[in-house]
Amino acid sequence: MKCPKCGSEMQIDEHRRYALQMCYNCGYIEGRMADVKKKETNFAHLKNLNMNEAIAFISAGLDIKSKKVAQWLDDEFEK
């Protein structure tokens, strides 16, 4: 299923009482209203993401493995 907000592939989030489709790229959750009119830059969007969402956003945008991005971010934060 494609996300109505950003167009990326949505994942099943099974950490809730019942499974929902969720987009790890923009944070959209199935059943919530998508504010499609709101446009922001990638940098502004990235500032509002947590670590897992940021890794998914960067890896999807650059088409690289999320494991490599996570390792790179961990190395940068340890310095």
Q: What is the pLDDT of residue 39?
A: 67
At residue 56, what are phi and psi to the nearest 5 degrees? -65, -40
Q: What is the pLDDT of residue 54?
A: 84
Question: What is the three-class DSSP state of 62?
Answer: helix
Q: What is the pLDDT of residue 37?
A: 59
For the chain of 79 residues, list the mean pLDDT of each consecutive stretch of 10.
80 73 81 60 77 84 85 78
pTM for the full model?
A: 0.46
Nearest to 22 by CA among 31, 13, 33, 14: 13
Positive or negative, the CA dihedral 54, 58, 61, 65 is negative
The encoded tokens of residue 14 equal: 């099974």
The full set of domain ranges for the chain reads 1-39, 50-79
- Residue with token string 């504010």: 35
* 45 in Cβ contact with 58 (< 8 Å): no
